[in-house]
């Protein structure tokens, strides 16, 4: 895998540095629910401050804002507040959510020019967003001397291990809400894994047939709910016999056991995405069971990626027990396909 040049090689003294971090953290009632991605961004920011940067201008997206109302929901303020608690230095400036600009997700050059304006160099440390060719991750890298941040480099190094000679069986377990994104990636991953276990919203979408051309293990039972609500009427159902109009909001007890068995005999594990709506306690058991099974397999090289899966690990106090906690969800899955991510490709060697 090609190594982009490191921020350590940059001369940043008295310079204004634009940093793209991935501060896209889970929120709960307008508060940061898990600050892993914020903390993971600190070493690069600290390095720049220690090296005498005049200003460290941090930008990130937050969520997937679409409507006007979303602007309040996804404002950077709570994220900035947490960052300032962890890194109180007036030279750090935090820009507003890059996705409030329509140009961002179109990789628009005009928006990239505005981001670059007044900056001397660019550091991309947003591994979790490196699979996106957006203005703040791709276009801007062509407008300023570009470098890779410490987190980005660390992630490439650790996840790169999954691309080399891995010990088998390799079990890939995936869930979460971004179904369209992930199915595309899983399709390309093909038979790289010896077993692919699927839960969460992704399993729900596969209920009527899988577009994947390799076998996947789907839940045999689910925790069904009469509506999408934390206090919905609910009961355990067979995967194929949910009452009409009901939703599967977690994997059921039999599935938890089956998945745990498959994970126990693995020698390499990659887990991305929760098994249900784990932020609601009544639908959290499946995700917990998977987190515990991954952490319990100390003989395997275990990688957990994605903001929500990492949040679940942290809430259970299990993060220390896995080999690598990745800040990237979709990004680490795409890296597994073996292709260079656009945010990385834009940085010279």
DSSP 9: G
Q: How far is CA 6 from CA 117, 322, 346, in A?
A: 22, 26, 13
Within residues 248-277, the interface with ligand 3PG by CB under 6 A covers none
Stretch that binds ligand 3PG, among 128-136, 236-244, 316-324, 333-341 (CB under 6 A): 128-136
Q: Check binding of 136 to ligand 3PG (CB under 6 A).
A: no
- When the beta carbons of 100 and 195 are compared against ligand 3PG, the nearer one is 100
Query: Which residues partner with 281 through β-bridges?
Result: none
Q: Using CA atoms, how far apart are residues 41 and 151, in angstroms rounded to an integer?
A: 7
Least separation in angstroms between CB 40 and ligand 3PG: 12
Tokens describing residue 85: 């608690």
Burial, 314: exposed, middle or buried (Cβ in 10 Å; 0-12, 13-18, 19+)?
A: middle
Least separation in angstroms between CB 44 and ligand 3PG: 16
Least separation in angstroms between CB 37 and ligand 3PG: 8
Binder of ligand 3PG out of 16, 17, 24, 286 (CB under 6 A): 24
Which has the closest alpha carbon to 320: 306, 304, 337? 304
Q: Check binding of 64 to ligand 3PG (CB under 6 A).
A: yes
The CA dihedral of 100, 101, 107, 111, to the nearest 10 degrees, is -140
Q: What is the 3-state secondary structure (H, E, C) of 90-112?
A: CCEEECCCHHHCCCHHHCCHHHH
DSSP string, 109-149: HHHHHHHHTT-SEEEE--GGGTT---TTTTGGGGTS-EEE-
Binder of ligand 3PG out of 132, 256, 288, 311 (CB under 6 A): 132
Q: Give the residues lining the site for Mg ion (CB under 5 A).
A: 307, 329
- In b/e form, how buried is each residue of 225-244, taking b as 16+ CB within 10 angstroms? beeeeeebebeebebeebee
Least separation in angstroms between CB 131 and ligand 3PG: 8
Q: Which does 234 bind (CB under 5 to 8 A by kind): Mg ion, ligand 3PG, none?
A: none
Q: Which does 132 bind (CB under 5 to 8 A by kind): ligand 3PG, Mg ion, none?
A: ligand 3PG
DSSP 341: P
| Other CB atoms within 10 Å distance of the CB of residue 341 | 24
Which has the closest alpha carbon to 184: 304, 327, 339, 347? 339
Residue with tokens 């099974």: 293
Phi, psi of 20 (to 5 degrees): -95, 110
Q: How far is CA 153 from CA 12, 36, 156, in A?
A: 18, 17, 5
Binder of ligand 3PG out of 248, 330, 342, 343 (CB under 6 A): 330
Least separation in angstroms between CB 329 and Mg ion: 4
Stretch that binds ligand 3PG, among 125-133, 143-151, 223-231, 333-341 (CB under 6 A): 125-133
Binder of ligand 3PG out of 128, 175, 273, 274 (CB under 6 A): 128
Q: Which residue is nearest to ligand 3PG (CB)?
A: 24
Least separation in angstroms between CB 304 and ligand 3PG: 13
- When the beta carbons of 26 and 342 are compared against Mg ion, the nearer one is 26
Least separation in angstroms between CB 186 and Mg ion: 16
Contact 58, 22 (CB under 8 A): no
Least separation in angstroms between CB 52 and ligand 3PG: 30
Q: Which does 288 bind (CB under 5 to 8 A by kind): ligand 3PG, Mg ion, none?
A: none
Least separation in angstroms between CB 176 and ligand 3PG: 9
Q: Check binding of 31 to ligand 3PG (CB under 6 A).
A: no
Q: Which does 129 bind (CB under 5 to 8 A by kind): Mg ion, ligand 3PG, none?
A: ligand 3PG
- When the beta carbons of 112 and 222 are compared against ligand 3PG, the nearer one is 112
Residues that bind ligand 3PG (CB under 6 A): 22, 24, 64, 128-129, 132, 178, 307, 329-330
């Amino acid at each position: 895998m090609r190594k982009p040049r490191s921020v350590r090689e940059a001369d940043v003294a008295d310079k204004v540095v634009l940093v793209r971090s991935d501060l896209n953290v889970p929120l709960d009632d307008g508060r940061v629910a898990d600050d892993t991605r914020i903390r993971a961004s600190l070493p690069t920011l600290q390095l720049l401050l220690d090296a005498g940067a005049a200003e460290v201008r941090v930008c990130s997206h937050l969520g997937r804002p679409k409507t006007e109302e979303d602007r309040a929901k996804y404002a950077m303020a709570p994220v900035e507040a947490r960052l300032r608690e962890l890194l109180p230095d007036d030279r750090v400036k935090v820009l507003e959510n890059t996705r409030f600009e329509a140009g961002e997700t179109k990789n628009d050059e005009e928006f990239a020019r505005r981001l670059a304006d007044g900056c001397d160099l660019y550091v991309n440390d947003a591994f979790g967003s490196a699979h996106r060719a957006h203005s703040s991750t791709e276009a801007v890298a062509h407008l300023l001397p570009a470098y890779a941040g410490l987190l980005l480099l660390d992630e490439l190094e650790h996840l790169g291990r999954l691309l080399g000679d891995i010990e088998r069986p390799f079990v890939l377990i995936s869930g979460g809400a971004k179904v369209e994104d992930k199915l595309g990636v899983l399709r390309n991953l093909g038979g790289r894994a010896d077993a692919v276990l699927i839960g969460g919203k992704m399993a729900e979408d596969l209920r009527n047939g899988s577009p994947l051309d390799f076998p996947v293990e789907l839940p045999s039972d689910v925790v069904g709910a009469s509506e999408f609500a934390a206090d919905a009427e609910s009961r355990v159902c067979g995967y194929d016999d949910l009452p009409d109009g009901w939703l599967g909001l977690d994997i059921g007890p039999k599935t938890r056991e089956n998945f745990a068995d498959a994970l126990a005999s693995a020698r390499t594990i990659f887990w991305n995405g929760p098994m249900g709506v784990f932020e609601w306690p009544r639908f959290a058991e499946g995700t917990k069971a998977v987190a515990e099974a991954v952490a319990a397999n100390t003989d395997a090289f275990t990688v957990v990626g994605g903001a929500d899966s990492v949040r679940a690990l942290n809430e259970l106090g299990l993060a220390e027990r896995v080999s690598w906690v990745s800040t990237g969800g979709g990004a680490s899955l795409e890296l597994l396909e073996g292709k260079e991510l656009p945010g990385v490709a834009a940085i010279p060697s």
